């Protein structure tokens, strides 16, 4: 079991030589970030008091991987222009629900959105852990929904259109994002359902299913535990949770992904298609898993396609700048 999780983590974060650092260095390493805000004021809902030290690993390429997250935050990236209301994207990094790839699946992506006039928010969500949560299955979703509410509450201050707030997720973060896009009428938050529904979803090599035949084993174990019930697995298998109210979706995957089967994407697309949800899907023949912004197997940039998709749907003005 230990070997399995080690291999999973290595695949998710592409680790070389790493150095463990104190959590207090993270703020200084997020050089592009304007502000890092605590997601909750006061007590974190559903939390259990425990002495859990957050850990940060810096890879040899200077990318950051965070583990033992018990205190969620939102890192804010705002475009300079104030000419018109902007759209916003909440970004959920991946890491198998065992850690968070904060750079390649977080801050670097946020910087690209800002270049295109889009506000971006990197969510450092709580990682499932029975030591710090009453229900570890609900903790990450609580944080994603709270992030949506926070952006809406600060929309005027941050110059954001409250009808253009989407969510993006990579790998296990894609599972969290797709959960936020399919479970907004659940019982995680008490607020009115329309306030926690994202307006669009962008899922990059996402974990979608918790069904044994499709799921990523490490993500499933971390979120649901060793022996979840069939009912629980189905509830968190988001291909079964799509409805007519599921938001428009953009999906990217690689056919040769050895970590998260592209069948996750295909099954989710099938569910979206059956409910007539507008969806754009890109399957690359190669690329593997965890490629972040740059799939080295092709000159085609999925992020450019994502921006085109946002423009076509009216979430970005067609005159917005392009990525570099």
- Long-range residue pairs from 283-288, CB within 8 A, at least 24 positions apart, any chain: 283/253, 283/254, 283/255, 284/252, 284/253, 284/254, 284/255, 285/254, 285/255, 285/256, 286/254, 286/255, 286/256, 287/254, 287/256, 287/257, 288/254, 288/256, 288/257, 288/258, 288/259
* Cα(91)–Cα(104) distance, integer angstroms: 11
Q: Tokens 């009216």 sit at which residue?
A: 314
Contact 174, 92 (CB under 8 A): yes
Contact 219, 96 (CB under 8 A): yes
pLDDT in tens, 295-313: 999 999 999 999 999 999 9
pLDDT of residue 18 exceeding 90: no
Beta bridge partners of 92: 169
Q: Across residues 67-89, what is the average pLDDT?
A: 91
* Cα(197)–Cα(185) distance, integer angstroms: 8
* Cα(313)–Cα(309) distance, integer angstroms: 6
Is 224 contained in some domain?
yes
pLDDT in tens, 203-243: 999 999 999 999 999 999 999 999 999 999 999 999 999 99
Q: Can you give the residue range of the structural domain that contains 293?
A: 2-312
Is 172 contained in some domain?
yes
Structure confidence at residue 31 (pLDDT): 39
Is 245 contained in some domain?
yes
* Cα(178)–Cα(184) distance, integer angstroms: 10
Is 317 contained in some domain?
no
pLDDT in tens, 243-268: 999 999 999 999 999 999 999 999 99
pLDDT of residue 294 exceeding 60: yes
Is 261 contained in some domain?
yes
Is 323 contained in some domain?
no
Is 319 contained in some domain?
no
Structure confidence at residue 186 (pLDDT): 59
CATH of the domain at 230: 3.40.50.1820
Structure confidence at residue 14 (pLDDT): 43
Angle 2-13/217-224 helices, nearest 10 degrees? Answer: 110
**Nearest C-alpha neighbor of 236 from the set 249, 251, 221, 248:** 221
Element (H or E) spanning 10, and its range? helix 2-13
Record the pTM.
0.88
Element (H or E) spanning 144, and its range? helix 139-153
pLDDT of residue 150 exceeding 50: yes
Structure confidence at residue 176 (pLDDT): 98
Give the pLDDT band of residue 158 (cuts 50, 70, 90). very high
Q: 104 in helix, strand or coil?
A: helix
Number of domains in the chain: 1
Is 322 contained in some domain?
no
């Amino acid at each position: 079991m230990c070997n399995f999780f080690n291999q999973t983590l290595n695949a998710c974060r592409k680790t070389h030589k790493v150095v463990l650092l104190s959590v207090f260095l993270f703020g200084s390493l997020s050089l592009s970030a304007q502000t890092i805000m605590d997601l909750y004021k006061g007590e974190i809902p559903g939390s259990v008091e425990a002495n859990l030290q957050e850990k940060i690993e810096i890879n040899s390429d200077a990318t950051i991987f965070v583990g033992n997250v018990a205190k969620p935050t939102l890192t804010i990236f705002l475009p300079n222009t104030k000419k018109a209301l902007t759209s916003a994207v909440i970004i959920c990094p991946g890491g198998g629900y065992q850690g968070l790839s904060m750079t390649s699946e977080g801050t670097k992506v946020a910087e690209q959105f800002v270049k295109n006039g889009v506000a971006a928010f990197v969510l450092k969500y709580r990682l499932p852990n029975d030591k710090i949560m009453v229900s570890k299955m609900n903790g990450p979703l609580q944080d994603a929904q709270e992030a949506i509410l926070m952006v809406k509450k600060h929309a005027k201050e941050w110059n954001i259109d409250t009808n253009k707030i989407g969510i993006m997720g990579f790998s296990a973060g894609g599972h969290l994002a797709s959960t936020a896009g399919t479970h907004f009428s659940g019982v995680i938050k008490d607020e009115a359902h329309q306030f926690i529904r994202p307006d669009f979803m962008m899922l990059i090599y996402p974990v979608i299913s918790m069904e044994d035949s499709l799921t990523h084993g490490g993500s499933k174990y971390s979120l649901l535990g060793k022996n979840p019930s069939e009912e629980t697995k189905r509830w968190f298998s988001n291909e079964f949770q799509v409805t007519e109210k599921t938001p428009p979706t953009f999906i990217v995957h690689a056919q040769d992904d050895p970590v998260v089967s592209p069948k996750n994407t295909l099954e989710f697309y099938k569910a979206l298609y059956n409910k007539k949800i507008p969806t754009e899907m890109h399957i690359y023949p190669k690329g593997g898993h965890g490629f972040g912004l740059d799939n080295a197997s092709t000159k085609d940039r999925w992020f450019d396609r994502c921006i085109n998709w946002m423009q076509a749907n009216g979430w970005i003005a067609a005159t917005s700048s392009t990525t570099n």
